[in-house]
Every structure is written in C-alpha cells, then in structure tokens.
Amino acid sequence: MDLGIAGKKAIICASSRGLGRGCAEALAQAGCDIVLNGRNEAVLSHTAEALKTRYNVAISAIAADVSTAQGQKAILAACPEPDILVNNNGGPPRKDYTELDRAAMLDGVVQNLVTPIELIQAVLPGMTSRGFGRIVNITSLSVRMPIEGLDLSSGARAGLTAFLAGVCRQVAGKGVTINNLLPGKMDTDRLKGGLEREAEQTGKTLEEVRQGSAEQIPAGRFGTADEFGQTCAFLCSTHAGYLTGQNVLLDGGLYPAAF
C-alpha cells in the first residue's frame, strides 16, 4: 500500500534500536526523510548507515538525550518543520513503588510526560499551518493494565495520554492527528533484560522463561519491531487522517477486554 507520505519529514526519538528503529525503518520504507535520535553514538551511526544503504531517503542522526533542552534543540535544528513526530523514550527501570524517591519520580515524569509534551508544543504550530501533521506517542500496555514494578512509567504515560486527549481534538480540524501506540511484550532488549532477571531469580533457564512468558500471550509469541513500525507508519499515513485520539494496542491479545 502506498501510504502517501513519500517526501515527508519525520523525527523519530530514541530510534537507534528497538521499537523506535522499527518505526524509522517503516517510515523510511514509505519514502520519508528521517531524523534518527539516540544516546549511543556507535549504535546510532550503525543504524543510520543501515537505513542509508537500504532506502533512497535522507537520513540524519542526532546523538542527544531527548529529555534535555539541549537535545531537543539539536533534534529540531536538524528538522525545523517535521511533518511527522514519533515520541519515544526509555522508561524508568523496573522498581517497586516503595523504592522510589522524589528524584526518581521527577526523572520518570520528565522522560515520559514532559518531554513528549515539549516536543509537541514545538512542532504543532508548523503542522497546523501547513495543514498536515502526524504525531505518534509510544507509550505502553501498562497504561491499560498494571505491570509490576512499572508504576512510575505507567503513571507518567497515562498522564501523557490524558493530557493529549484534549489537545488532539483541538488540532484535528487542521489536518493533524495525535495517536498512541501501546506495545505489549515486544522482542526487544528491554524485554530480554526483564527475562534475564526473572531467570536469575527463579533459577530457570532463559529459554524456559521466554517460553513461559510467550505462552501467556494469546498469539503465542512476542511482537516484533518490524510489525510495530509498520503500524506506526500506517498511523502516519494519509489514509489515517480520520483516526485521532486513539490508543492502539499491539499486544497479541494479552489485554483481556472487549472494549
């Protein structure tokens, strides 16, 4: 399917690997010029070279912490008038709520609530004036259902969801959509780290833990960055102009609900 966004400019935060990279790959495949972002320069450079080799689009790579004012400034300098913004950032480490101090809580809120709002504030005026914009926020299944140890991440991301519920409706009539992608158990480094910790705690092998975790999912497997990215690309397409303010679950049926 032609997504109708060839030549559009896209900023994808935290896109050197994992789900962010999946989104960058899919948008590059759709013909978008891409601004990649990550904190590890070596990994970021490797990803940029891979995309340049594979796709005939412009690829820029900005090594920066998107949670900082300096990082945001560098990213926006590389693409002052983006048509697409994919907000993504690492979540706080898994930790029981009793172990969280004020500094940790503030840091989590900055990463997963304040940062995406700041970037949206920066890009929305241009999008609305041009009559086209797509904003996709990568949040989490934990916005819908509790995940042990991710209370801070869940709270910040749920706050972002509520904040944008009103904003998206203010700009819907100007050709701009804002939607959220909620990943479940995706086959990424973050998932692998959690499975490794569980293996250490239980004495099981990593493969046993992987299999047990996958069996909890109705689909019987973990999701991939590729299928996640393709879903993101569709939300950014011209075909999704009537889709806004939605929380799209990619969880293989793990969340047990009819609505």
Domains of the chain: 9-186+223-250 (3.40.50.720)
Inform me whether the pLDDT recorded for 128 exceeds 90: yes
In sequence order, what are the residues at sequence separation of 6 or more whose Cβ sits closer than 8 angstroms to the Cβ of residue 237?
Answer: 3, 4, 5, 30, 134
- Measured CA to CA in angstroms, residue 54 lies from 21, 47, 226 at distances of 14, 11, 15
Token pair 């011209």 is found at: 238
Residues in the chain: 259
Of residues 92 and 144, more confidently modeled: 144
Inform me whether the pLDDT recorded for 94 exceeds 90: no
- Give one word for 245, left, alpha or beta, with left for phi > 0 and alpha for psi -120 to 50: left
Inform me whether the pLDDT recorded for 198 exceeds 90: no
Task: For residue range 38-61, list pLDDT tens digits in order.
Answer: 999 999 999 999 999 999 999 999
Please give the pLDDT value at position 106.
96
Give the integer Cα–Cα distance in Å for 222 and 86: 22
Terminal-to-terminal C-alpha distance of the chain: 28
Give the integer Cα–Cα distance in Å for 26 and 29: 5
Q: What are the two backbone dihedrals, phi and then psi, of residue 211, each rounded to the nearest 5 degrees?
A: -65, -45
Average pLDDT over residues 29-35: 98
Average pLDDT over residues 172-179: 98
Under the banding of pLDDT at 50, 70 and 90, the label for residue 110 is: very high
Please give the pLDDT value at position 90.
85
Inform me whether the pLDDT recorded for 121 exceeds 90: yes
Q: Are 152 and 92 in contact (CB under 8 A)?
A: yes
In the chain, pLDDT over 70 holds for what percent of residues? 100
Please give the pLDDT value at position 60.
97
Under the banding of pLDDT at 50, 70 and 90, the label for residue 194 is: confident
Average pLDDT over residues 140-151: 91
